[in-house]
């Protein structure tokens, strides 16, 4: 059967709410509006005011409340309508949630999930299009997850909710409506995807493409085009930003000898930058036949006009171009 | 020490207090206690049966905001309570002064925000709630770590960064935790939404517990606090917001920081009371009143405690560039919380000078022992460096300062 990413997220939350009474969801419009992007559709009707809580537009306040509730024994899912708004609350995410277990030397844990759409959407312009994977990925004490497919969304959200630590769960608005095949095994109530393990979505021998979230789709599309020219790409879906599954990437490079990372976010100090640094420092460096390169969003605030916006994020042709350059073909 | 032949207070009604109906029963009770404790009595010929077991004191009326009635205007204090409050406040006082000393000797580093002067707040609040309730405060937190169950030893060892510290040396002054005590928080104001979140959990889990959520006059202007007032009120969270107004946010006096210094009114739709924070009985009665308000499901309530800190904002602040020494001295001589309690007890024959001195000696010893521990306990082992990143997680590797250094991390 096919399931959209949105429905996968919805079902995952529904099942986890049912499984554990301490789990609850709070955020703007999550209850009576059924979710700004309808991800929490039907949950308020089923679980009521106690467990699905509409908040005022006060991110710093409600994120802090969510963290406090987690400290006192509940398991909140705190939704940011988009991660752009998490900047208002970022102190609570980092200083109150991420660092507390360490500062208390293990006395105080914070089992919380911060979730919401991240990165570029369509036509929402600069203030609503930033990718926060690198910012959150920078911080010890956080787990940062970035699902691509419906299966990812389901398994990773369940794992995130069951995890006893703060998890930043980066969804993607443009992926919400995309349907994916979902096997029976994936549909089981205890289907979990481990946080910290990447997945090889497509096997290949010539070059490794590493990506996360929506860009995985573009990598697979680029790989399909390149395959017609005899270039076989291995496409790795990171699934988790932090902890980074460097081993999966290294193993792949030792096979393909070439690396291109693909992300929607800005280049400087970003996900690709981190992966390249890991590879430089690790055993896979000696297997590279060419410098590893990054395909990223353009280093500008996101413009509005469609032609400008389209040229601000990686396109399939950009991936193809970078692959050919790396392979010197 | 010469024994008084004619103890002047014997059988005279206590000054400024009303006799308790059950005082005879209490006297008998205390007589039997005397037999048990004769072995312990060190100095005075006066037996415990000579002391007034309980007295009632007039306390200042609280200013009220959106409340029809306030806390009672009188508070009962038993001898036992009085001695306990005295001991705890004195312990706090001496602990903070010892921390001052150790800081100046560079044995404590970084931030150190001392609480001396404000003891009546911490002790009074705890006297008004249960240990099963919850509490969170900002960085001036050593005293609360004590009232919430921490020991002087583990507090001091945390200040000196040793493995015997309450947070194994990894948190320091501002990050101490115990059961139902959520720190110790370094970011001004951030603890307020956290506290409301704890209160939300209290309500959600239905255990009739509440959360006391403290902040200072400086933090009181933070936006997130107003966001929290709104949600706590909307959702009727069992949260007692307490503003410890010690008149200065770091070096900025309240008049220079706040357009309205009526902090007890700043909750607007949240009922509030302004309390004499130097009088432990006032604080206790107000806290009991506030707790009753929360537990009855009425939602949050706000208390402003008017108090004073003798030290500067932190150990790097001498505390005299923005206020006068005369002001500090005046508070010390007229409103010191420990002196006030001591005077009350002595003038009402609830304790003897010797007895209180004995407590002082015991407290001093406890602090000395703790300081000794705190200065001799070893620092945390280096292999603890990367632990406590995640809870309930399999062991993992953490990158060291260079690519070849891989450190181990366990939960």
Please report, for the domain that includes residue A245, its CATH number: 3.40.50.920
Distance, in Å, from the CA atom of A188 to the CA atom of B352, rounded to the nearest integer, reads 72
For residue B93, CA distances in Å to B129, B134, B144, B350 come to: 22, 23, 12, 22
Distance from CA of B231 to the nearest CA of A (A): 8
Residue A62 falls inside a structural domain: yes
- CA atoms within a 13 Å half-sphere pointing along the CA-CB vector of A173: 20
Say if A235 falls within a structural domain.
yes
One domain for residues A79 and A155: yes
Question: Shortest CB distance from A105 goes to which of B170, B185, B235?
Answer: B170
Q: What is the CATH number of the domain that holds A36?
A: 3.40.50.970
Per the domain annotation, does A239 fall within a domain?
yes
Say whether both A225 and A94 belong to one domain: no
The CA distance from A49 to A45, in Å, is 9
Q: Is A296 domain-assigned?
A: yes
Low-confidence ranges of chain B (pLDDT < 70): 1-49
Tell me if residue A28 is catalytic. no
Whether the CB of B403 is below 8 Å from some CB of chain A: the reply is yes
A165 and A241 both lie in a single domain: no
Dihedral, CA atoms, A306, A307, A311, A312, nearest 10 degrees?
Answer: -40
Would you give the distance in Å from CA B87 to the centre of its chain? Answer: 13
Contact A72 B224 (CB under 8 A): no
A173 shares its domain with A210: no
- Mention every residue, 6+ apart, whose C-beta is less than 8 A from residue A285: A279
Residues of A in contact with B169 (CB under 8 A): 105
**pLDDT digits 0-9 by tens, A294-319:** 999 999 999 999 999 999 999 999 99
Q: Name the residue facing A103 among B170, B391, B393 (closest C-beta).
A: B170
Exactly one of A29, A128, A232, A247 is catalytic; which is it? A128
Closest-CA residue to A178 (of A124, A220, A238) = A220
Last residue in a domain, options A154, A187, A220 = A187
CA distance B365 to chain A (A): 28
Question: What ipTM was assigned to the predicted interfaces of this complex?
Answer: 0.96
For chain A, say whether B169 makes contact (Cβ under 8 Å): yes
Spot the catalytic one: A15, A16, A28, A59: A59
Q: For residue A203, is it within any domain?
A: yes
The answer to whether residue A193 sits within a structural domain is no
For residue A299, the enclosing domain spans: 199-327
Residue A21 lies in a domain: yes
Q: Looking at the structure, do residues A213 and A67 belong to the same domain, yes or no?
A: no
d(CA A123, nearest CA chain B) in Å: 31
CATH numbers and ranges of domains, chain B: 54-380 (3.40.50.970), 382-410 (no CATH)
- B406 burial (CB, 10 Å; 0-12 / 13-18 / 19+) is exposed
Domain boundary among A187, A212, A233: A187
Specify whether A132 is located in the same domain as A269: no
Minimum Cα–Cα distance from A103: chain B residue: B171
Compute the distance between CA of residue B344 and CA of residue B74 in angstroms, rounded to an integer.
14
| A283 and A177 share one domain | no
Q: Does residue A194 form part of some domain?
A: no
* Statement to judge: residues A178 and A292 lie in one domain: no
Residues A129 and A80 grouped into a single domain: yes
A285 touches B: beta carbon within 8 Å: no
**CB distance A55–B231 less than 8 Å?**
yes
**A161, A14: one domain:** yes
- With CB atoms and an 8 Å threshold, state whether A68 touches B197: yes
Give the closest residue to A26 by CA, choosing from B204, B135, B223: B204
With an 8 Å Cβ cutoff, is B29 touching chain A?
no
A264 within 8 A of A119, measured Cβ to Cβ: yes
Q: CA-to-CA distance for A304 and A322, rounded, in angstroms?
A: 26
For residues A231 and A138, membership in a common domain is answered with: no
For residue A139, the chain B residue with the least C-alpha distance is B389
Residue B381 sits at the chain A interface (C-beta within 8 Å): no
H or E stretch covering B57: strand B54-58
Q: Which residues in chain A show pLDDT less than 70?
A: none
A258 is an active site residue = no
Would you state the pLDDT for residue B25? Answer: 46
Same-domain check for residues A176 and A232: no
If one counts the domains in chain A, the total is 2
Contact B30, B48 (CB under 8 A): yes
| H helix or E strand, kind and range, residue B226 | helix B223-234
């Amino acid at each position: 059967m096919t399931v959209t990413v949105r429905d996968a997220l919805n079902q995952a939350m529904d099942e986890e709410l049912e499984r554990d009474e301490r789990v609850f969801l709070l955020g703007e419009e999550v209850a009576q509006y059924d979710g700004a992007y309808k991800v929490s559709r039907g949950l308020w009707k089923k679980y009521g005011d106690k467990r699905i809580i509409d908040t005022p537009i006060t991110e710093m306040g409600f994120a802090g409340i969510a963290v406090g509730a987690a400290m006192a024994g509940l398991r909140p899912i705190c939704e940011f309508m988009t991660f752009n708004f998490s900047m208002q609350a970022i102190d609570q995410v980092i200083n109150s949630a991420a660092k507390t277990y360490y500062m208390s030397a293990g006395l105080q844990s914070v089992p919380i999930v911060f979730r919401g759409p991240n990165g570029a959407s369509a036509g929402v312009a600069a203030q609503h299009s930033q990718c926060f994977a690198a910012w959150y990925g920078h911080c010890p004490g956080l787990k940062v997850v970035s699902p691509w497919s419906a299966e990812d969304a389901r398994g990773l959200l369940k794992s995130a909710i069951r995890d006893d630590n703060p998890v930043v769960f980066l969804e993607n608005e443009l992926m919400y409506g995309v349907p994916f095949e979902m096997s029976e095994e994936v549909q089981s109530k205890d289907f979990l995807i481990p946080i910290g393990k990447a997945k090889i979505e497509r096997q290949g021998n010539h070059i490794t493409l590493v990506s996360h979230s929506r860009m995985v789709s573009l990598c697979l599309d680029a790989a399909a085009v390149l395959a017609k020219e005899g270039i076989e790409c291995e496409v790795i879906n990171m699934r988790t930003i932090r902890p980074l599954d460097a081993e999966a990437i290294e193993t792949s490079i030792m096979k393909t000898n070439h690396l291109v990372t693909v992300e929607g976010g800005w280049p400087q100090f970003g996900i690709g930058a981190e992966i390249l640094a890991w590879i430089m420092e690790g055993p896979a460096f000696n297997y590279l036949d060419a410098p590893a390169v990054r395909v990223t969003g353009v280093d500008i605030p996101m413009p509005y006009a469609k032609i400008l916006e389209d040229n601000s994020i990686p396109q399939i042709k950009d991936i193809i171009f970078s692959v050919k350059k790396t392979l010197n073909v | 020490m010469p024994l008084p032949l004619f103890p002047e207070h014997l059988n005279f009604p206590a000054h400024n207090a009303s006799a308790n109906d059950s005082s005879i029963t209490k006297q008998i009770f205390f007589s039997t206690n005397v037999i048990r404790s004769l072995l312990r009595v060190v100095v005075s010929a006066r037996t415990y049966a000579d002391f007034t077991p309980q007295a009632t004191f007039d306390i200042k009326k609280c200013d009220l905001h959106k409340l029809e009635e306030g806390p009672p205007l009188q508070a009962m204090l038993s001898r036992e309570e009085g001695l306990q409050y005295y001991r705890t406040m004195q312990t706090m006082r001496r602990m903070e002064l010892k921390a001052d000393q150790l800081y100046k000797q560079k044995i404590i580093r970084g931030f150190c925000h001392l609480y001396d002067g404000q003891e009546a707040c911490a002790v009074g609040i705890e006297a008004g709630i249960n240990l099963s309730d919850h509490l969170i405060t900002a960085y001036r937190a050593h005293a609360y770590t004590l009232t919430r169950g921490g020991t002087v030893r583990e507090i001091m060892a945390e200040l000196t960064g040793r493995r015997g510290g309450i947070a194994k040396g990894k948190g320091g002054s501002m990050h101490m935790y115990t059961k139902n005590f959520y720190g110790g928080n370094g970011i001004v104001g951030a603890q307020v939404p956290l506290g409301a979140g704890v209160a939300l959990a209290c309500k959600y889990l239905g255990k009739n517990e509440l959360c006391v959520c403290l902040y200072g006059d400086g933090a009181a202007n933070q936006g997130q606090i107003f966001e929290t007032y709104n949600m706590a009120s909307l959702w009727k969270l069992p949260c007692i917001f307490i503003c410890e107004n010690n008149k200065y946010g770091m070096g900025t006096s309240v008049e220079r920081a706040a357009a309205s210094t009526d902090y007890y009114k700043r909750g607007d739709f949240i009922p509030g009371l302004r309390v004499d924070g130097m009088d432990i009985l006032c604080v206790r009665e107000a806290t009991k009143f506030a707790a009753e308000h929360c537990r009855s499901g009425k939602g949050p309530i706000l208390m402003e405690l008017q108090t004073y800190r003798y030290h500067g904002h932190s150990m790097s602040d001498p505390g005299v560039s923005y206020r006068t020494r005369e002001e500090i001295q005046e508070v010390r001589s007229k409103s010191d919380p420990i002196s006030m309690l001591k005077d009350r007890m002595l003038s009402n024959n609830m304790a003897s000078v010797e007895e209180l001195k004995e407590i002082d000696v015991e407290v001093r010893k406890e602090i000395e022992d703790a300081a000794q521990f705190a200065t001799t306990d070893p620092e945390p082992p280096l292999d603890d460096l990367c632990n406590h990143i995640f809870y309930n997680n399999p062991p993992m590797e953490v990158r060291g300062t260079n690519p070849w250094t891989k450190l181990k991390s366990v939960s």
